[in-house]
Amino acid sequence: MSELEDLLKDVNTLRENLEQLIELKEGNLIDSEVVTASKILNAALNQYNKFINDKIKK
């Protein structure tokens, strides 16, 4: 699997986990677990964007 595919798989998994957690926490977006999961997803998205930008610049 390519690095891009790995990044996309990670992003999708983290997104699904966040959605499930939000549902579990009854939509409480300021719950500490929700915030932490959101930050982890955000970091993965930043990594994905950096990868794409690096490929475009080449």
Q: Work out the end-to-end distance of the chain between its first and last CA atoms, rounded to an integer number of angstroms.
A: 21
pTM of the model: 0.91
Q: Rounded to the nearest 5°, which phi and psi values hold at 3?
A: -60, -40
Question: In this predicted model, what pLDDT tens digit does every residue of 4-56 receive, in sequence order?
Answer: 999 999 999 999 999 999 999 999 999 999 999 999 999 999 999 999 999 89
User: Does position 1 have pLDDT exceeding 90, yes or no?
Assistant: no
Please tell me what DSSP assigns to residue 31.
S
pLDDT at 33: 98
pLDDT at 58: 74
